[in-house]
Amino acid sequence: MPLLITFIAIVLLLVLISYFKLNPIVTLLFVATFVGVAMGMPLPKIADSIKEGVGNTLGLVAIIVALGTMVGKMMAESGGAERIAQSMIKLFGTKNIHWAMMFTAFIVGLPLFLQVGFVLLIPLLFAIARRTGTNLVKLGIPLVAGLSATHGLVPPHPAPMAVIEMFKANVGLTIFYSIIVALPSAIIAGPIFGNWVSKYVQAAPSQELMDQMASKKTDRPLPGLGMTLFTILLPVILMLCATVADVTLPKDHTVRSWIDFIGHPITSLLISAIVSFFTLGSNQGFTKDEILKFSNECIGPAATILLVIGAGGALNNVLIDSGVGNYIAGLAVHSSISPLVLAWLIAALIRVAVGSATVSMMTSAGIVAPIAAAVPGTSPELLVLAAGAGSLILSHLNDGGFWLIKEYYNMSVKDTLKTWTVMETILSIVALILILLLSIIVS
């Protein structure tokens, strides 16, 4: 029965979201309630389990989303992203400009949601396409490949961070492994595939949109490259330092305690946000009131993403409290399928049917976490990446990102499927292959 209930729950999740177009937050909470009732949990316990799941998940993620969004907002308003892109273009040259777009998006995407990073870089993409006369597909596919790779695989993005909590993975190690996996995946799915597919698919934005977005909106000088990179990469550096300290220093060492504190996701992002107020704020001539306005404005759009993540945490907690997770874990211990492949497969199936990378990652983690705990030798860090890789596959008409790309790039549905959808699928499969190869070394 637990296996059947889990199967029905997944089908309900897919049908209600994809066919009936029910809100993902409502759907996740409804399915969590269904699992609890079907498994015979006491009714008050179901409500408590949902509450605990939401609270435990958002306890860390909500703060990370708020602080990360502030850093992203400061980067957008100061022109930091444009500075990075211009430097990359100068480094790579016009001929290799599609490589510059991928690396720019990869760096810019570290603290930003995919949609935020995309909208942030679109004016720059249009301006480069206009100046160089390059097919937008050749430039645009590498850009979204870089953003998508960091969105699904690299902490401190909210969904990977929430899954890290579920798998009890080490943040620093996950970041280290994610760079090893995400960067080559983005290269293959972005510049290499984008350059090839641009020979068969042409795209250009509407002239009205090009005129509106490709012109510079302010005469404010851009921030320096070094200072911009330092601000964006500061939380990642601090988290990696904490991992190094955990490996090299004794557990009760005072220096290790301080480094672990500073390298904690909350502390490191708090430091980065405060630093951004100076490096990308006051140093760029913004007043205190303007910086306060920026930091307040950026919180609202993240609310929906936070609630989806919280609802996913509720379903995860009910699966655990009801005993479903332990039952499936017991079956998986005696099966031959790798937990890494299982995490990827579940996330991929849900992604195809639902269209949400966040929902697929959270659901996959909720099902696989008890299995991973029961199977010795499974790296929790690689499980995070496997769920993330599966959540990227085959984005199509039920995904908001699909329509975002289609409209901005002014492509038909058919051409969007040929470019964006195939790019996402390549990214997912290449990432899985690299994760499995990395698991040989890690194990």
Residue 338 to residues 45, 153, 166, 343, 344: CA-CA distances in angstroms? 33, 19, 18, 9, 10
Residue 95 amino acid letter: K
The length of the chain in residues reads 443
Residue 88 amino acid letter: M
Kindly state the DSSP code that residue 420 receives in the 8-state scheme. I
> pLDDT digit string (tens) for 306-334?
787 788 778 878 887 888 766 765 665 56
C-alpha 304: how far from chain center: 15
| CA-only gyration radius of the chain, Å | 22
Q: What is the dihedral of CA 193, 195, 200, 205, to 10 degrees?
A: 110
pTM: 0.73
Q: Tell me what pLDDT residue 191 has.
A: 94
> For the chain, which residues score pLDDT lower than 50?
215-217
Q: Tell me what pLDDT residue 45 has.
A: 94
Q: Tell me what pLDDT residue 41 has.
A: 93
Q: Detail the DSSP E strand segments found in 323-423.
A: none
Burial of 101-119, coded b for 16+ CB within 10 Å and e otherwise, reads bbbbbbbbbbbbbbebbbe
Question: For residues 48 and 314, what is the distance between their CA atoms, to the nearest angstrom?
Answer: 10
Q: Tell me what pLDDT residue 214 has.
A: 52
Q: Tell me what pLDDT residue 206 has.
A: 66
Measured at the CA of 112, the angle between CA 382 and CA 77, to 5 degrees, comes to 160
Q: Tell me what pLDDT residue 437 has.
A: 95
Q: Tell me what pLDDT residue 385 has.
A: 95
Q: Tell me what pLDDT residue 289 has.
A: 93
For residue 369, give the 3-state DSSP assignment.
helix
Question: For residues 1 and 4, what is the distance between their CA atoms, to the nearest angstrom?
Answer: 5
Domain boundaries in the chain? 2-442
